[in-house]
Chain A
Amino acid sequence: MDTAAVERVFREEYGRVVATLMRRFGDLDLAEEMAQEAFVAALDRWPRDGLPPNPGGWLTTTARNRALDRLRRESTREARHLEAAMLADVPDPGSTVSSVVDDRLRLFFTCCHPALSTEAQVALTLRLLGGLTVAEVADAFLVEERAMAQRITRAKRKIRAANIPFRVPPDAELPARLRGVLATVYLVFNEGYLPSSGTEPLREDLCAEAIRLGRILHALMPDEPEVTGLLALMLLTDARRPARVARGVLVPLDRQDRTLWDRALVDEGHDLVRWCLRVGRPGQYQLLAAVNAVHTDAATAGDTQWWQVVALYDQLYAVAPTPVVALNRAVAVAEVDGPAAALALVDPLAGALERYHPFHATRADLLRRLERTEEAVAAYDRALELATNPAERAYLTGQRTELVGTAAGPTAEPSVG
């Protein structure tokens, strides 16, 4: 086996190794350093002896032994760590999630603790659970590597100094805390599916990473409907990725070549949504997944059961009454009751969504369908002022150009690469 293969296994197992060592020694820096040493040992051994039967176990044991060696060497200074290392496993108090909690689940809740900034939560989750290098995390968010290293160091320092616990929250706090974890994973996915900065219309690596994290979470909390819902939502969205951009231009759902959709992902997503329906404890992610299940269920755009989409958004609005949900509901209403009815729902959202480009893009489309061309062009212009994704800008520019005729040309020159 070559270096690249060892690297792949290491990245796959990184979260488990760090999480296990974190619980044993209570020190993220030590956990990371020893994981790194175990990796170096694996680079030496595995190409020669072959992959051990349980690579994760091998890495964890090696890292743990290195940590114990180091702590014994520095036993006076690090007496407190050694003491912690000798502690028996203590179950999480007041939590019924599982009597044997995977340490990675604890690590998820520590990385996504609300006392950490959103940026820090995302960075820590990608680094510690995703096993991405600091350079890769920096690259994911187009931040200088040194700045990202600093962000991660500072966050780890806060975890240690403020004593952010390494445990699954008790049941009373679990729903709120779980929302934070899910939001972090979904944020990674969205940044991949519709990058807000940079020149790439899609970041497949980030989508894949978010789905991988979603799968880990789903394996760790198989009975939490919202965890299942998030995974289903990401799978059903990602399934359409091959049809989403053509020649650098975003293709809206109704014009996508549905034969390009990934059927395996669609089927898996549908299975998960059906499981959620059977459990019957709907939440935001499950409802969004269900909306996507309706879309991916339709053989053609014309077959879409829009009344179902409206009904799902009604439910979603009941649990998450946000202007963005109201906007997306209006898009579905346009297909059932026509663009005039939808516009009447969209216009009152202007105050809340003035700086949200999909609001202007939606308005533009509705006005276009109502043949209110001048207003539609103005709305496209506003959307183009705010939109940053190159494929989306190319699409909006195309729509606008079609509307005014090619002679006029757009006022806002898009930066299509």
Chain B
Amino acid sequence: MTQYLLSVWSYGDTKPYPTEEDAQAAYAATGVFNNQLKESGHWVFAGGLHEPSTATVVDGRGGEVVTTDGPLSEAKEMLGGFWIIEAPDLDAAIALAAEGSKACRGKVEVRPFQSA
């Protein structure tokens, strides 16, 4: 079994959903998908994030902790949410990512965790 991060990305300067109805439909479909993940035993964790403007960057490497307004990355792509799943191989993870992408209506990146 390998654990994978399925992260959902959208573009920062556009709203992830064109209308409120679209957003509600996506949330509902994502909820259904989450329940399927739990029932099938693939679920480890999942969560949706507030928009990047709510982020704070903390740098504790020096003597003094430096706190600044985030996000860290200036990139156009923004992380909107993620799942952590457990799957037997990449093909299984891709199949789940495809369902997740359809449910939340966003592109999903599949990335393996280093095994513990």
Residues of A within 8 A of B (CB): 113, 115, 161-165, 169, 173
Given contacts A113-B90, A164-B89, 19 further A-B contacts (CB under 8 A): A115-B110, A161-B112, A162-B2, A162-B4, A162-B90, A162-B93, A162-B110, A162-B111, A162-B112, A163-B88, A163-B90, A163-B93, A163-B112, A164-B90, A164-B91, A165-B89, A165-B90, A165-B91, A169-B91
Residues of B within 8 A of A (CB): 2, 4, 88-91, 93-94, 110-112, 114
A113 surroundings in chain B (CB, below 8 A): 90
Q: Which residue, of A115, A163, A164, A165, has the highest number of chain B Cβ atoms within 10 A?
A: A163
Shortest Cβ distance from B2 into A: residue: A163
Is there an interface contact between A163 and B89, defined as CB atoms closer than 8 Å? yes
Shortest Cβ distance from B89 into A: residue: A165
CB of B116, distance to nearest CB on chain A (Å): 13
Instruction: Please measure, in the bound complex, the distance between the C-alpha atom of A186 and the C-alpha atom of B112, giving whole angstroms.
Output: 31
Instruction: Please measure, in the bound complex, the distance between the C-alpha atom of A163 and the C-alpha atom of B4, giving whole angstroms.
Output: 10
B91 surroundings in chain A (CB, below 8 A): 164-165, 169, 173
CB of B19, distance to nearest CB on chain A (Å): 33
Instruction: Please measure, in the bound complex, the distance between the C-alpha atom of A146 and the C-alpha atom of B112, giving whole angstroms.
Output: 26
Instruction: Please measure, in the bound complex, the distance between the C-alpha atom of A414 and the C-alpha atom of B90, giving whole angstroms.
Output: 48
Complex A-B: 21 CB contacts under 8 Å: A113-B90, A115-B90, A115-B94, A115-B110, A161-B112, A161-B114, A162-B4, A162-B90, A162-B110, A162-B112, A163-B88, A163-B89, A163-B93, A163-B112, A164-B89, A164-B91, A165-B89, A165-B90, A165-B91, A169-B91, A173-B91
B93 surroundings in chain A (CB, below 8 A): 162-163
CB of A143, distance to nearest CB on chain B (Å): 26
B2 surroundings in chain A (CB, below 8 A): 162-163
CB of B53, distance to nearest CB on chain A (Å): 32
The 8 closest A-B pairs by CB, nearest first: A165-B89, A163-B2, A162-B112, A163-B89, A162-B90, A164-B90, A161-B112, A163-B90
Instruction: Please measure, in the bound complex, the distance between the C-alpha atom of A98 and the C-alpha atom of B2, giving whole angstroms.
Output: 28
Shortest Cβ distance from A159 into B: residue: B90
CB of B94, distance to nearest CB on chain A (Å): 7
Shortest Cβ distance from B94 into A: residue: A115
